[in-house]
Structure 1
Amino acid sequence: MSSSKEERIVPEVLDKENYVDWSVRVHTYLLAKDLWDIVESNDEPPKPADHGNVDENSDRVGAEYRAWRKKNAAALHAIQICCGPDAFSVIRDITSAKIAWETLASKFKPQLLRAKTMVSSESPRSEVTISSDDFNLNEPFYNAVWSGDWQATNEFIARNPDVVRARITYSGRTALHVAAINGHMSIVETLVDKMSEEDLEIKDINGFTALAIAATYNASIKIAECMVRKNTKILTIHVTDMLPAALAFRYGHMKMGRYLYTVTPLDNLVLPQNGIDGATLICNAIYMQSFDVAWELLKHCPRLAVTPDRFGRPPIYALANLPSAFLSGSRLRFWQKWIYDCIYIDPACAINDICIELNNIRLLTYNMSIIRSPEKDSHHKFWSFRGLALKFLKMLGIKFLYDMKLVHVQTFQLLHQMCAMTRSLDEIQMEACFVYGALFRAVDRGNVEFIISLLKANQELVETCDELWRNIFMRAILYRQANVFNLIHRLDSKLAAATAVDRHGNNMLHMAGMLAPYPQLNQISGAALQMQRELQWFKEVESIVPPWTIEHTNSSILTPAQVFTRDHKNLRTEGEKWMKGTATSCTVVGALIVTIMFAAAFTVPGGNNQDTGVPIFLNKELFMVFIISDTISLFSSTTSVLMFLGILTSRYAEEDFLKSLPKKMMIGLSTLFFSIATMMIAFCATLLIVLRDKYSWIFFPVISLASIPVTLFAMMQFPLLVEIFFSTYGAGIFDRNVQIWN
């Protein structure tokens, strides 16, 4: 239940999270309305008068009761309209404002952590009682730790050694938690030195150990190292169902995650009973693009590729959900693509050397000796050369291309390893391990490299359908993933895929007739070009499906063309508005130029000879520049006006957005640009003719100023012109010669 605008007392109605602020505002309102005494009073409310005994006293009692009832109703109404649905249901049947207020307080008011018991099967301190007195007693100690006052902290510990394991916050955190949050390394070292190994396993009320706090807040590896040296068991304590290493990746701390992974015992990640922990770590590492960790862990236990994590999704699904880790998900300019193709990275070195580094850290952690092998030496030489190459690339400002390609190479190595694992799975296992789900997720996201690798490993997956009986190409059309749809041209089962029908009777052409998802539409500028792209999709799919599908009706008795018209009705209207708006604006500009340049042709610079009518400066070379530029400007502006008028008077049928309207817009914009440019040339030529003899110094300033409007128009409209040209006459997004099995 919420209040209206006239009755609004609080900005947000009462819920489980905002009682403190809510109660302050309602209390202030009741005070202002002189209603708080009804809620605050401890006296019994007056009783209604006895109507059988009419006297002066009964009249007074009745008046008191009516006054109380009115104020009580006003206060209760104010409280009710400030309650959300859950809160109102608690007091729906209560008629006393005082009781309603007290009921809401008991239900929603946050309670101090008095006598709060925490139970943990992993910590010897399984029961912890927290009281407000403890917090008041330890408040100076908390302030010293929070502010990083090492001397004051030591003094408190010296007076009370047990304070190092005391819970000094209402969230049940110890001094080590607080110091880890703020990154006070010296205090952390002091506390760890004074604490026992079991003390480092203490959790706050949210289940976070001090190591988990360090892994998620400031991500200080030195702080983590200090704790791990004291007690390695804290590496295997779950926090929100994750190990600290996975938690660090989850919170976006790649370096901390890599460190914690190297010191976490492998048995806690790769043994069958710990598979969910290993899978969770791999998934989080993949999302952080730490593919070296994922690859190295999969090398120890390939089965983890299809083992569900704590969220029920395996690492192969996580990789399918990350198209940005592949080349198809990266947008590069043509020169960047050329440099990218020229960069060579040895796939073996891209992964193996980093994994050797991870193993070396792990060996050092357990104080084991490291023997340099010839393979290590060769890798060392490679990385020395790579260091020089990276410095050179950084000088050129293109190091990001090298880093991008390194990620792509690492991802491919990881992908091949995962796909190889799926070869041994049968249909039931693939369903249980979300291999099918990963395939369809990759289709939806346009992760074509993932799809190709998975189809190479299991070619029968091309026949897989989702719960709506849609194959991967039908979904690619539905989600407008052209790079995935193009794969159909390289399959022997192309005809079978093109004739598929889903549960609702839709064929491929119906999929093309449905409106594209907004993320795909928003990648295209303007509703008109969006409509054009949708038509291109429909025409492309129409060219590969059998003839019977064109008139085939779905369960709604609609043909593909009818589905297209229904779903694109609003987009067509928006495209018409966009076209007309652009054409109207440009028509005004073009008509103005036509008027100016037509008048300029008959008022030539310097005027005409009164006897012969011949222009005075007819023999000057610059006069011919003026005449030619004026003529070109007049003709091109007239052409642009006619093109824009053609747009304004178009019928705006669906087919018009494919070629007709874009062509008119291109001609109109290009001729308008030429008319503006030649108009400026005519203007400059006129000034030079008139002022050249005495004021030649004005030539360069005039030219510079005249170039401003031309440049502005080019900057604003040229990108649109280029986009329309390539969208209409370019190579397009469809490629029938794509190679996938090389």
Structure 2
Amino acid sequence: MGQDENTKAQVQSNEGNNKTPKAKDEKIIKDIANYKQVTRYILKNDWKGLEDYIMSKTPNALTCIIVDQSSIFEFIVGIPDVPTPLVDKLLSKVPRNCLQNFARDEGSGYMKYAVSTGKLNLITTLMRYNEELPNIKVEKKDDPNIKDEEKDDLLPVHMAAKAGNRDAVRHLLPKTRGPLGGRQVFVLLKFLIDSNLFDMALALLKYHPMIAGADIGESGKILESLSKRPKAFESGSRLGYCKRLLYQWIPIQEEYNPHPHPPSENVGGDLEKQLSVTSKIQLKKFFLQKIPSAFGSLRQKLKFVLWNNLMELAPSIKSIRDAKIIHEQTLEILRIVCAGAVDILNTHEEAQNVFKKPMFTAARLGIYEIVMEIMNSYFPWSLEFKNKDGYDIFKVAVEHRREKVFNIIFNFPNIYPFFMANIDEKRINILHIAAMSVPSTEVPGAALQMQRELQWFKAVENCVHPTLQDQLNDKDKTPREVFTKEHEKLVEEGEKWMKDTAGSCSVVATLIMTIVFAAAITVPGGSDSRGMPNFLEEPSFTIFGISNALALFSSVISVLIFLGILTSRFSEEDFLVSLPRKLIIGLITLFFSIACLMVAFAATVHITQFHPWKWVIIPTALLGFLPVFLFATLQFPLLIEVFASTYGPGIFHPMKFL
């Protein structure tokens, strides 16, 4: 029956090709009318009417191309909201060989919608009529999003991986049989990494363990893809202090599997008669070893239950756990690919082609995990790599201000002096590079950026030999002269930022000082004929007096500190410690004065209105806490940032990686 329909459709198609120009024009007008009618049903969401209209058409009318665009079949299948039962009935009228042709065509609804959008119900429906669809190669010769070397021999699972549809890949991969092999596996692995499907990429590597050591060129492409994804590694995740603690504490194992207990050899007889002195000692050791293991297993299970409950209550904790899992997966992928690439290296040129570009890309983006793994895999020759500017890996780290990458050098104390004293053909040493101005989006404010630049320059200056500190480059400039010239604009911007911040805060501190001084003269509740306060013996009056005095003293200190910032010289060295320290003290005293002001206000309300309106105490206290909370929320991030940048661990310090 199906062959008869195919033959009939072919005959109709041939007849259509042999028609006169007038007949062809009439056919085009009829096809366009059909297309418009389908569009009307879709715009009205009249799926029942569309179904009746489809069932009344012949297979040839559904699958023939309309005005060199697409067929009605492709148009309907590509609609996002089309019901699956409607697609099922539509496919019942389409011959199986047409499905294969649609799968081969880059504009088909199957490739554009079913696989790319990852709708499993539509994929399942399509495969019910043709089980070989996952194994049909797809031609993507005009797709600008796919490179030339990746356009041949692509399968639907490749397109699903390219689109980042995890469910579609999981559904299609087991059903992809013979065609998936050789270079196609590398392309699939690269697509999975590019789409951040690292769990499936790791599973593919473990399922095909020979991938990593099969092709040296493909291994380099995999490493290059990993080096362009800093968020896939711990070094690229920007977590705050609290999230960083959660990241370190949260477990990532799904369950705790203790080692199975060996079976006991005493399976029969009287135990008291069989046990000798040695066996009793062994039994004692057995309980000493296994009981802590059992308690450890219980502790781990309780730990996972606790964290699972916390993740249910706070989705942000779950996102941190998911990020940590991704970081572990990418690290394992990195180790597998590097180990496989080293096993098949033959020459130093091959090693450069595989490791050099990913290594410098990772150093530029601050992914120290990749840099360290490549160094360990191809040590010590990996340290000889140079980029197009003639910079080694540590100069690139200084050039782009990647302290974690530069700190790797402390793991190699024997070669540390060599890299610090290395000078290129332009007489530029590493201190000249540290003197260059590098804008940063990670440090807020021009003043803090200037402080960070000074910290980098000082740290590198302490690492190099004293003779390099005064060495002239090809333009006859020392590193200090280069630093001054490069950071002239940043010094001006930092001065403006500091003055604006200090001016705004000093206005607030001055208002607080004026208010609390007036409150100290006109005490709440009035005074008697001798000038003594009427509520002097009240505890709330004591609280008012202490908090008002503290608010006055702290606001005066804050005004003086901010005045010191406004009258500063704003030299380069002032941005290192002096100005940030003044800003820290000014913000702390300003916050303390606001808190004391609210306490004095609450005490005043208690003194004057406690007896007639006792109920106003609680809401007044809550509203008095609101300004303190707002100030802490808005200004404390800046205060913490300045404090951490000024009194933190610094730029360079020995660290152990991986």
Distance in 2, matches of 1:137 and 1:151, equals 19
1:213 corresponding residue in structure 2: 112
Q: Which moved more, 1:591-600 or 1:659-668?
A: 591-600
* Matched position secondary structure for 1:514: coil
Of all paired residues, the percent bearing the same amino acid is: 33
Q: Relative to 1, partners in 2 of residues 1:300 and 1:173: Cα closer, same or farther, differing over 3 Å?
A: farther
1:427 corresponding residue in structure 2: 348
The alignment status of 1:395 with 2:312, answered yes or no, reads: yes
1:256 corresponding residue in structure 2: 168
Shift in Å at residue 725 of structure 1? 1.2
Q: 2:160, 2:169 within 8 Å by CA — same for their partners in 1?
A: yes
Q: 2:427, 2:474 within 8 Å by CA — same for their partners in 1?
A: yes
Q: Please give the residue correspondences for 1:340-359 in structure 2 after superposition, counting only pairs within 5 Å.
A: 340-345=247-252
| Of 70, 88, 92, the match for 1:189 | 88
Q: Please give the residue correspondences for 1:276-675 in structure 2 after superposition, counting only pairs within 5 Å.
A: 277-298=184-205, 299-303=209-213, 306-308=216-218, 314-334=221-241, 336-345=243-252, 392=309, 394-397=311-314, 398-423=317-342, 424-425=344-345, 426-433=347-354, 435-459=355-379, 460-491=381-412, 492-502=414-424, 504-517=426-439, 521-610=440-529, 612-675=530-593
Q: 2:164, 2:192 within 8 Å by CA — same for their partners in 1?
A: no
Q: Please give the residue correspondences for 1:107-146 in structure 2 after superposition, counting only pairs within 5 Å.
A: 134-142=27-35, 143-144=37-38
Q: Which moved more, 1:224-233 or 1:561-570?
A: 224-233
Shift in Å at residue 175 of structure 1? 1.2
Deviation track 1:286-339 (CA, whole Å, cap 9, x = no partner) reads: 122222432344424224675459xxx711111111122222223445554455
Amino acid at match of 2:648: G
Distance in 2, matches of 1:347 and 1:694, equals 61
Q: Relative to 1, partners in 2 of residues 1:177 and 1:432: Cα closer, same or farther, differing over 3 Å?
A: farther
Deviation track 1:545-574 (CA, whole Å, cap 9, x = no partner) reads: 222222223333332222222232222211
Distance in 2, matches of 1:390 and 1:621, equals 46
Q: Please give the residue correspondences for 1:143-182 in structure 2 after superposition, counting only pairs within 5 Å.
A: 143-144=37-38, 147=42, 149=47, 159-168=57-66, 170-173=68-71, 175-176=73-74, 178-182=76-80
Q: 1:172, 1:203 within 8 Å by CA — same for their partners in 2?
A: no
TM-score (norm 1): 0.69
Distance in 1, matches of 2:309 and 2:612, equals 55
Amino acid at match of 2:30: L
Q: Relative to 1, partners in 2 of residues 1:654 and 1:168: Cα closer, same or farther, differing over 3 Å?
A: same
Amino acid at match of 2:181: V
* Matched position secondary structure for 1:202: helix
Amino acid at match of 2:85: S
Shift in Å at residue 606 of structure 1? 4.2
Q: Relative to 1, partners in 2 of residues 1:622 and 1:337: Cα closer, same or farther, differing over 3 Å?
A: closer
Shift in Å at residue 478 of structure 1? 1.5
Amino acid at match of 1:500: N
Amino acid at match of 2:168: M
1:41 corresponding residue in structure 2: none
Q: Which moved more, 1:654-663 or 1:148-157?
A: 148-157
Distance in 2, matches of 1:432 and 1:560, equals 34
* Matched position secondary structure for 2:136: helix
Q: 1:509, 1:550 within 8 Å by CA — same for their partners in 2?
A: yes
Structure with bigger RCO (C-alpha 8 Å, 6+ apart): 2
1:122 corresponding residue in structure 2: none
Shift in Å at residue 659 of structure 1? 0.5
Q: 1:304, 1:315 within 8 Å by CA — same for their partners in 2?
A: no
Q: Relative to 1, partners in 2 of residues 1:190 and 1:707: Cα closer, same or farther, differing over 3 Å?
A: closer
| Of 722, 736, 741, the match for 2:653 | 736
Gaps of 5+ in 2: 1-13, 144-150, 258-300
Distance in 2, matches of 1:700 and 1:465, equals 68
Q: Relative to 1, partners in 2 of residues 1:582 and 1:135: Cα closer, same or farther, differing over 3 Å?
A: farther
Shift in Å at residue 645 of structure 1? 0.6
Q: 2:255, 2:304 within 8 Å by CA — same for their partners in 1?
A: no
The alignment status of 1:708 with 2:598, answered yes or no, reads: no
Gaps of 5+ in 1: 1-124, 351-383
Distance in 1, matches of 2:632 and 2:325, equals 38
Distance in 2, matches of 1:228 and 1:724, equals 60
Distance in 1, matches of 2:118 and 2:322, equals 23
Q: 1:134, 1:168 within 8 Å by CA — same for their partners in 2?
A: no
Q: 2:375, 2:382 within 8 Å by CA — same for their partners in 1?
A: yes
Distance in 2, matches of 1:512 and 1:701, equals 56
Q: Relative to 1, partners in 2 of residues 1:212 and 1:715: Cα closer, same or farther, differing over 3 Å?
A: same
Q: Relative to 1, partners in 2 of residues 1:642 and 1:140: Cα closer, same or farther, differing over 3 Å?
A: same
Deviation track 1:214-237 (CA, whole Å, cap 9, x = no partner) reads: 345532223334444514476322
2:3 corresponding residue in structure 1: none
Distance in 2, matches of 1:158 and 1:694, equals 85
Amino acid at match of 1:586: C
Distance in 1, matches of 2:25 and 2:389, equals 58
Q: 2:372, 2:657 within 8 Å by CA — same for their partners in 1?
A: yes
1:358 corresponding residue in structure 2: none
Distance in 2, matches of 1:301 and 1:427, equals 21
Q: Relative to 1, partners in 2 of residues 1:721 and 1:466: Cα closer, same or farther, differing over 3 Å?
A: same
Deviation track 1:442-496 (CA, whole Å, cap 9, x = no partner) reads: 1112112222222221122122111111111111122222211111111131111
Shift in Å at residue 720 of structure 1? 1.5
Shift in Å at residue 576 of structure 1? 0.9
Distance in 1, matches of 2:330 and 2:585, equals 45
Shift in Å at residue 172 of structure 1? 3.4
* Matched position secondary structure for 2:568: coil
Q: Relative to 1, partners in 2 of residues 1:264 and 1:204: Cα closer, same or farther, differing over 3 Å?
A: closer
Distance in 2, matches of 1:736 and 1:346, equals 31
Q: 1:180, 1:188 within 8 Å by CA — same for their partners in 2?
A: no
Shift in Å at residue 253 of structure 1? 2.0
Shift in Å at residue 729 of structure 1? 1.0
1:362 corresponding residue in structure 2: none
Q: Relative to 1, partners in 2 of residues 1:562 and 1:249: Cα closer, same or farther, differing over 3 Å?
A: farther
Distance in 2, matches of 1:386 and 1:717, equals 36
Q: Which moved more, 1:297-306 or 1:163-172?
A: 297-306
Q: 1:144, 1:153 within 8 Å by CA — same for their partners in 2?
A: no
Shift in Å at residue 665 of structure 1? 0.8
The alignment status of 1:246 with 2:167, answered yes or no, reads: no
Deviation track 1:373-426 (CA, whole Å, cap 9, x = no partner) reads: xxxxxxxxxxx9999898646435333344333322322221111011221323
Q: 1:626, 1:681 within 8 Å by CA — same for their partners in 2?
A: yes
2:181 corresponding residue in structure 1: 270
Q: Relative to 1, partners in 2 of residues 1:557 and 1:189: Cα closer, same or farther, differing over 3 Å?
A: farther
Q: Relative to 1, partners in 2 of residues 1:664 and 1:153: Cα closer, same or farther, differing over 3 Å?
A: same
* Matched position secondary structure for 1:661: helix
Shift in Å at residue 193 of structure 1? 4.3
Q: 1:640, 1:671 within 8 Å by CA — same for their partners in 2?
A: yes
Amino acid at match of 2:212: P
Distance in 1, matches of 2:402 and 2:493, equals 23
RMSD: 3.6
